[in-house]
Amino acid sequence: MAKKMMAVFLMCIVVVAALQFATANEDEVTKYEAKFDAKYKSCYETCEKECLANGSGQSFCEVKCDEDCDEKEVADKLHIKLH
């Protein structure tokens, strides 16, 4: 009976530790992603204004800017320099 109680106790410790790790890791991921969200939004807004000012249509500009800014975001995350 004592062995079963010890096993249950150890399992509880493992579960609590896993939950603590997940919570701590979640905060770091949120901060990391927020940095790229801000860069993407800034890139997209600038690109869209320039594209619309050049006389292109709204739909074209949305697709173009989304693709361009997404490409820049991925390159930044992977530490790749684009031309």
Q: Give the Cα separation of 51 and 22 in Å (integer).
A: 42
Region of 57 please: left (phi>0), alpha (psi -120 to 50) or beta.
beta
Question: pLDDT tens digit string along 16-48?
Answer: 877 776 665 667 778 878 888 889 999 999 999
Q: How large is the average pLDDT for residues 11-16?
A: 85
C-alpha dihedral (31, 36, 37, 39), degrees to nearest 10 = 130
Q: In the prediction, which pLDDT does 41 show?
A: 92
pTM of the predicted protein model: 0.60
What would you report as the CA-atom Rg of the chain, rounded to the nearest whole angstrom?
A: 23
